Amino acid sequence: MVENKKTKKKKKMAIAVMSGDLDKLFGAFIIATSAAASNMDVTMFFTFWGLRAIKKDKRTGKSFMGKMMGFLESGGIDKASPSKYSMGGLGRWMFKRMMKAKKVASLPELRQMALDLGVKFYGCQMSMDVMEIPRESLMDETHECVGGGFFVEKALEADVQFFI
Amino acid sequence: MVENKKTKKKKKMAIAVMSGDLDKLFGAFIIATSAAASNMDVTMFFTFWGLRAIKKDKRTGKSFMGKMMGFLESGGIDKASPSKYSMGGLGRWMFKRMMKAKKVASLPELRQMALDLGVKFYGCQMSMDVMEIPRESLMDETHECVGGGFFVEKALEADVQFFI
Amino acid sequence: MVENKKTKKKKKMAIAVMSGDLDKLFGAFIIATSAAASNMDVTMFFTFWGLRAIKKDKRTGKSFMGKMMGFLESGGIDKASPSKYSMGGLGRWMFKRMMKAKKVASLPELRQMALDLGVKFYGCQMSMDVMEIPRESLMDETHECVGGGFFVEKALEADVQFFI
């Protein structure tokens, strides 16, 4: 096992979340909460479609294309569709029901758990600019909006990194 | 290079496989077998669509929706479709032919090679529950069915981690 | 932070790029250039659809299926479509316009920046064989065409690894 020089230092994890799919977000938050629960420092960097995970349910966009993007990507984490069998929303409904039947935590619950455990959420400023998603449309709990360089720095400091 | 304290200790790799696509599985098994062949300890954690890679060709599901999922995701690793140009099975057929023409190992062959080299396969218990995939429908060689926390632990111990 | 034994040694990053999607490639090159700009040694290993990123705009394929694949995957990095809302090229056009409006670097510009910063590009020989993409159809700047084992070696040496 890779050991830190100062053994008392907390282990760190850095996750870049580019996907906004229900299953991928599920994986990301399960990994993040598991790591935080075992006392790791966890950084989540949300970019492109992944921004859905920390967005309020609020329409975004200023320009014509920004509004179109805001329409296509409308809704918050609750509107994430699975990467397969999206089927116009049917897949989402089905997955949610199956998860509920097995008493698995929902995405909003997992996200809250992550926050409660001290996981830090960062928004990717560049994709926010491109997709015309203003800071106010992200959850108030979002720690900061930063550039890709910030994530690379966190990734380099981390003991474990993922791109999801 | 990151060096272990005890230099005789084997290097470790942990891979989370969430995708069930032919190309992604191909990448995962090529990486896993290459690593195992160079004497690394390799853990593969199969979750969601990735479970296809270690499933027997057996129909699963109990509830109506579980059966529907079992129907949609029927078949084992041999039925994996490429992430692009799936075209109702045509893409799979085409890729398999092109791989065979170049004498590239098939997915079932790569998987067997992984097992022979000591790669350990784990099923994600939570996604098995949600998708109603019982333990018996996974390959007998599956080492254990575990939670996300188990994978995080393995990832932390590992020198290299991937999310595929 | 994981520290190298010889502290003067450059930190290393290894990225496997299997996706050929505009957004994923964007993420890959942003990470790569950020890392290279902070003086890291960066290796990018392009495989399957990711080969588009280092391909010349030249038709490939010898056999019937190879030609079909060459037709489906025709064009270079400029023809990458977003992973969502591809909409027959409309999504690509829209994304490019939105990026330009925000003065974000284009993919060809980011790729050139990566080269200028010393990022090393490798092609996956096996997927080149399968998809019938000859060495000549890759950018001259491509460092070498190698097997999966080479990437695993680079990943093991690296401080940070990603699979995109």
What was the pLDDT predicted at C143? 97
Is A101 an 8 Å CB contact of chain B? Answer: yes
**Whether pLDDT at A25 is above 60:** yes
- C23 Cα to chain A: minimum distance (Å): 7
Q: What are phi and psi of B103, to 5 degrees?
A: 60, 35
Residue C50: C-alpha distances to residues A83, B162, C22 (Å): 19, 17, 10
**Whether pLDDT at B15 is above 90:** yes
**Whether pLDDT at C75 is above 80:** yes
Mark out the alpha helices in B18-82 (DSSP H runs).
22-37, 64-72
**Burial track B3-35 (b if 16+ CB lie within 10 A, e otherwise):** eeeeeeeebbbbbbbbbbbbbbbbbbbbbbbbb
Residue (of B48, B8, B33) closest to B163 by Cα position: B48
Mark out the alpha helices in B73-120 (DSSP H runs).
90-101, 107-116
**Whether pLDDT at B119 is above 70:** yes
What average pLDDT does range A85-91 have in this prediction? 85
What average pLDDT does range C44-69 have in this prediction? 94
What average pLDDT does range C15-31 have in this prediction? 97
Q: What are phi and psi of B123, to 5 degrees?
A: -95, 145
What was the pLDDT predicted at A87? 81
Residue C20 CA from chain centroid, whole number:
8
pLDDT band for C92, please (50, 70, 90 cuts).
Answer: very high
**Distance in angstroms (rounded) separating the CA atoms of residues A104 and A110:** 10
What was the pLDDT predicted at C88? 82
Sheet strand arrangement including C12-17: C144-146, C120-124, C41-46, C12-17, C160-163
Is A162 an 8 Å CB contact of chain B? Answer: yes
Tokens linked to B65: 């929706």
- Residues from chain C that touch B85, judged by Cβ atoms under 8 A, are 72
- Closest chain B CA to residue A22: B48
pLDDT band for B107, please (50, 70, 90 cuts).
Answer: very high
Helix/strand/coil for C88: helix
Residue B123: C-alpha distances to residues A160, B47, C82 (Å): 21, 6, 31
Residue (of A80, A59, A67) closest to A137 by Cα position: A59
Mark out the alpha helices in A16-162 (DSSP H runs).
22-37, 64-72, 90-101, 107-116, 125-130, 148-157
What average pLDDT does range C115-120 have in this prediction? 98
**Whether pLDDT at A78 is above 80:** yes
Helix/strand/coil for A99: helix
Residue A27: C-alpha distances to residues B33, B112, C29 (Å): 24, 27, 24
**Whether pLDDT at B106 is above 60:** yes
What average pLDDT does range A16-21 have in this prediction? 97
- C60 Cα to chain A: minimum distance (Å): 30
Amino acid type, B90:
L
The pLDDT > 90 percentage for chain C reads 82
Q: Which residue has the tokens 């460092």?
A: C143
**CB-based contacts of B3: which residues, under 8 Å, 6+ apart?**
C5
Tokens linked to C87: 């909409």
pLDDT (tens digit per residue) in A99-149: 999 999 999 999 999 999 999 999 999 999 999 999 999 999 999 999 999
What was the pLDDT predicted at B63? 92
Chains contacting C (3+ CB pairs below 8 angstroms): A, B
pTM across the whole model: 0.93
What was the pLDDT predicted at B7? 57
Instruction: Flag if B48 and A27 touch (Cβ within 8 Å).
Output: yes
Rg for chain C, CA atoms, rounded? 16
Is B22 an 8 Å CB contact of chain A? Answer: no
pLDDT (tens digit per residue) in B20-50: 999 999 999 999 999 999 999 999 999 999 9
What was the pLDDT predicted at A89? 84
**Whether pLDDT at B57 is above 70:** yes
Helix/strand/coil for C12: strand
To the nearest whole number, what is the mean pLDDT of chain B?
Answer: 93
Is A75 an 8 Å CB contact of chain C? Answer: no
Determine whether A20 is exposed, middle or buried from the number of CB atoms within 10 Å of its CB (0-12, 13-18, 19+): buried
Instruction: Flag if B37 and C149 touch (Cβ within 8 Å).
Output: yes
Instruction: Flag if A68 and C104 touch (Cβ within 8 Å).
Output: no
Whether the Cβ atoms of residue C25 and residue C111 lie closer than 8 Å to each other = no
**Distance in angstroms (rounded) separating the CA atoms of residues C160 and C146:** 20
Q: What are phi and psi of A106, to 5 degrees?
A: -80, 165
**Whether pLDDT at A82 is above 80:** yes
Lowest mean pLDDT among A81-95, C31-45, C100-114: A81-95
**Whether pLDDT at C1 is above 80:** no
C159 → closest Cβ in B2, B23, B37: B2
Q: Are strands B12-17 and B160-163 parallel, antiparallel or unpaired?
A: parallel
- B112 Cα to chain A: minimum distance (Å): 27
CA terminus-to-terminus distance, chain C: 24
Looking at the DSSP bridge assignments, the partners of residue A45 are A16, A122
Q: What are phi and psi of C5, to 5 degrees?
A: -60, -55
What's the CA angle centered on A53, arms C38 and A105, to 5 degrees?
A: 125
The pLDDT > 70 percentage for chain B reads 95
Helix (DSSP H) and strand (DSSP E) numbers for chain B: 6, 5
Whole-complex ipTM = 0.91
pLDDT band for A7, please (50, 70, 90 cuts).
Answer: low
Residue (of C121, C115, C151, C145) closest to C133 by Cα position: C145
pLDDT band for A20, please (50, 70, 90 cuts).
Answer: very high
pLDDT (tens digit per residue) in B133-157: 999 999 999 999 999 999 999 999 9
What's the CA angle centered on C46, arms C41 and C51, to 5 degrees?
A: 140
B1 → closest Cβ in C18, C72, C157: C157
Residue B53 CA from chain centroid, whole number:
5
